[in-house]
A and B are shown apart, each in its own frame.
Chain A
Amino acid sequence: MANPSTGSGRRVLVCIKRVPDLGGEISLTADGMSVDDSNLGHTVSPHEEAAVELAIQTAKDTGGEATVLTLGSSDAVEQLRNALALGCTGAVLVEADASAYGPADVAAAIADVVREHERAGTTYDLVLLGNDASDTGDFQVGIRLSYLLDRPVVAGVSTLGVSGDRVTARGQSPDGGTEIYEVPLPAVLTVMEGGVEPRYPSIPGRMKAKKIKIEEIAPSGEPAGSGRVRLTLPPAQPSQVTVLGEGPEAAGAVVDLLEKLGVTR
């Protein structure tokens, strides 16, 4: 990877996961171990979409570069290419069966790549992850990674700005306000959706993405696994709609409700 032209250029690694793009109703595979995704498209979680957006913005703002990484099958190249189309300039596929990897395994695999790249001369100033993957919802890969790399970590970041050797990260506080962190680089941040509007790819972006070579890495070591025994589906919720009425005559009942909810002026 070429060095950024400006000295302050920051290298950002953003980690994503290919997940099924779910509709309103899901079904499971026969063994109950995963979602039947045979007729589903695939995507990444909204948190990761925001993380990719932040990675690209940070790279652009600092004259640096954003690299996208995933652990998954070769199908996950689709998600890597999407991130490249948005503005990432490098991509790493740790080719593995993601379902055999628990959160600690994934963190270890990412840490291996970060260290490997560092040995090869590329240090990532920031590693961004989604706050949680939308399929497994483990809420811990980023934090485990920070321990493996011995870097500070902030979770639930919605926006960030790099200045000098520090990153200012903002996230929502429990009372609805904003919490601000200032953390020395290099750091790990897990991103929560809502702070930035993820972009869609452009046609020139997609064309550029096609030409970028994806670095494929075989994971080292055997994963311990997630411990999943099976998945189950909660029973469907029957409709609980209260019909307020038919036609304009229902206006009174509607306004009663609006007043009860306290949303009238």
Chain B
Amino acid sequence: MTVLVLVETETEAEGAAVAEVSRETLTLARALGDVHALVVGEAPPAVVEQLASYGVQRVLVAGGEAYSSYAAAAWATAVVAAVRGGDQVTAVAAAGTPRGNEVLAHVACRLGVAMAANVVSVEGDAPMTVSRQVLGGSALEVMPLADSVAVLSVAGHACDPRPAESASSPEVEALQVEVPEADLRARVVRTEPGEPDESGSLKSARVVVGAGRGAGSADGFKDLVELTELLDNAALGVSRVVTSLGWRPHHEQVGQTGSRVTPDLYLACGISGAIQHWAGMSSSKTILAINTDPDAPMVTKAHYAVIGDLHEIVPAINEELRRRRAG
């Protein structure tokens, strides 16, 4: 069988490259059969080379004015053209990104087939049975993809991106696509760069210093506020009990009934880790917990922990930060 993979590219400092998630998708697809890749826009040599290292046997490029800005329907038209124009394409895959899922949903509609989002593994063929993430990744659903073309997106980290044992030397072909006007009704008309956020506001902060009842009182936040000032783009976030006690304003609340945050570092100070709070910060890249209880859920779920009283530890951290800055 042949799997057509819609490849996303990105521009890194070293130049254009195949996005990591797409490389994961290629890795998974390679286990199913021959892999063809579709690149929208242009396919610089670096990309083609990378696709070759992943064993891609054919590279299709959809270019032209219709693809100068993103329109999911137009991308889907390209995918469908590639499916129809290819030999025995029995599966279409893309990374389970917003864009990948969106384009594949259009493709599934046009082909009149089912689509499985966020697949982590595939078994068998005709029909293919997939396992895919549901419930936010906390469970897997097993379902068949029995249509003539299986449409699936691949969840991030479903497998490690692994080049093929031997690189291929794919042909690069321009895909001839007729993009109807209707495909361009919903099209990106302009883009704005990400807003650099100087406000230190909670949702965009790189570091959130979280504090709970352990702060002790409305006056117990002095050291924590100082810590946010010593860190880069840091903000204070608090648990519900802190706001409901009136110690801190509600807009600082993190959790089920407050903001959900995804900072690079969440520094949980004196927060036991009730699920209500956990729900608001569990996606933080790194979690460091300071807690008197080594068995507190926040500690056991954290990446790093310091055991002890935040009122002793935070001033010591502040002092150390000041010392190193001065030195």
Identify the B interface with A (CB < 8 A).
8, 10, 70, 72-73, 97-99, 101-102, 104-106, 108-110, 114-115, 117-118, 129, 131-136, 138-146, 153, 182, 185-194, 203, 206-207, 230-234, 257, 260, 264-265, 275, 278, 286, 288-289, 294, 297, 299-309, 312-313, 315-317, 319-321, 324-325
Contacts and interface: CB of A to CB of B under 8 A. Distances in A.
A38 interface: no
Contacts of B206: 263
Contacts of A253: 306
A242 B61 CA distance: 47
B264 A263 contact: yes
A135 interface: yes
A184 B299 CA distance: 51
A132 B306 contact: no
Given A175-B194, A239-B301, A250-B306, A137 B118 contact: yes
A257 B308 CA distance: 18
A245 B306 contact: yes
A232 B131 contact: yes
8 contacts: A140-B101, A152-B182, A154-B186, A155-B72, A241-B305, A255-B317, A263-B207, A264-B321
Given A137-B136, A183-B185, A240-B303, 18 more contacts: A26-B135, A135-B135, A137-B132, A138-B115, A140-B109, A140-B117, A174-B99, A178-B193, A180-B189, A183-B186, A227-B114, A232-B139, A241-B305, A242-B305, A250-B316, A255-B317, A261-B286, A263-B233
A239 B299 CA distance: 9
A215 interface: no
Nearest to A232: B140
A228 interface: yes
Given A176-B194, A255-B324, A243 B306 contact: yes
B117 A229 contact: no
Nearest to B144: A227
Interface in A180-196: 180-184, 187, 192-194
Sorted nearest first, the 3 A-B pairs with minimum C-beta distance are A248-B316, A251-B316, A140-B105
Contacts of B139: 26, 28, 35, 231-234
A177 B316 contact: no
A229 B99 CA distance: 27
B135 A187 contact: no
A231 B131 CA distance: 9
A144 B190 CA distance: 25
Contacts of B325: 264-265
A251 B288 contact: no
A234 B206 CA distance: 30
B29 to A, nearest CB: 19
Interface in A5-50: 22-24, 26, 28, 35, 46
A84 interface: no
Contacts of A220: none
B191 A254 contact: no
Interface residues of A, number: 80
Contacts of A257: 288, 304
A24 B306 contact: no
A179 B275 contact: no
Contacts of A229: 129, 141-144
A131 B136 CA distance: 13
Contacts of B308: 246-248, 250
A265 B230 contact: yes
A153 interface: yes
Nearest to B106: A143
Contact of B141 (A140, A228, A252): A228
A136 B190 contact: no
A171 B142 CA distance: 31
A135 B141 CA distance: 10
Contacts of B303: 240-242
B186 A181 contact: yes
A258 interface: yes
Contacts of B10: 174-175
A137 B134 contact: yes
Contacts of B142: 228-232
Contacts of B132: 137
A156 interface: yes
Given A178-B192, A187-B186, A239-B300, A264 B307 contact: no
Given A136-B134, A234-B138, A143 B320 contact: no
Contacts of B129: 229
A155 B312 contact: no
Contacts of A102: 114
B136 A254 contact: no
B135 A22 contact: yes
A265 B232 CA distance: 5
Contacts of A79: none
Contacts of B260: 46, 193
A127 interface: no
Given A22-B138, A182-B189, A226-B143, A254 B306 contact: yes
